[in-house]
Chains A and B, each alone.
Chain A
Amino acid sequence: GENVEQHPSTLSVQEGDSAVIKCTYSDSASNYFPWYKQELGKGPQLIIDIRSNVGEKKDQRIAVTLNKTAKHFSLHITETQPEDSAVYFCAAAGADGLTFGKGTHLIIQP
């Protein structure tokens, strides 16, 4: 089955700087890659997703890139703000459904 590795497990950045979270996957048949943000005490919320027919997608300060050849995808957050502090999960979807990474705790330092 699919295996998703996510790095780093914790990321601390200064407010206003950029943050990058990286994920790799093992199943070349996976074709859908969502990113979720989970705030304390809440369920994961979809923030952006990408399908395998595109290499990059952007939504305001958030962007995701996908390299199918290398089987890795990344989340980029620019001009970070205090409200970006949360745990972020990547996932890869194939025939068996979504497999999640273990999460990255993003800390925005004032």
Chain B
Amino acid sequence: GAGVSQSPSNKVTEKGKDVELRCDPISGHTALYWYRQSLGQGLEFLIYFQGNSAPDKSGLPSDRFSAERTGGSVSTLTIQRTQQEDSAVYLCASSLGSGRADTQYFGPGTRLTVL
């Protein structure tokens, strides 16, 4: 079956531009997560969506970062006025259950490069 998909796979942008990253979770998965992975580093939690509940935005590094999830499925992560330090791989994951300790399945990521 289809796994988590993300687009684009690569994005190169200029400093100061806005970017949108898209995530399609596994069908039927109610939870969706965004993470950031800098070169050679672990996974940094950004935001968590669960059903119709208010998202947990506690990991967003600044107000330039925002995310939405429409219809409980597709999610978009938006970064406004990009900075060079935003360069990283942005990973999306989804899980079936409602608990934060459920198994997460990751997409291939979007590699963002800010020039």
- Measured CB to CB, the residues of A under 8 A from B are 30-32, 34, 36, 41-46, 49, 89, 93-103
Contacts and interface: CB of A to CB of B under 8 A. Distances in A.
A45 B106 contact: yes
B42 interface: yes
Interface of B: 4, 33, 40-43, 45, 48, 56, 91, 100-109
Contact of A94 (B4, B43, B91, B101): B101
Nearest to B100: A97
A53 to B, nearest CB: 13
Nearest to A98: B104
Contacts of B106: 36, 43-45
Contact of A44 (B40, B43, B100, B101): B43
Given A36-B106, A43-B106, A46-B105, A97 B41 contact: no
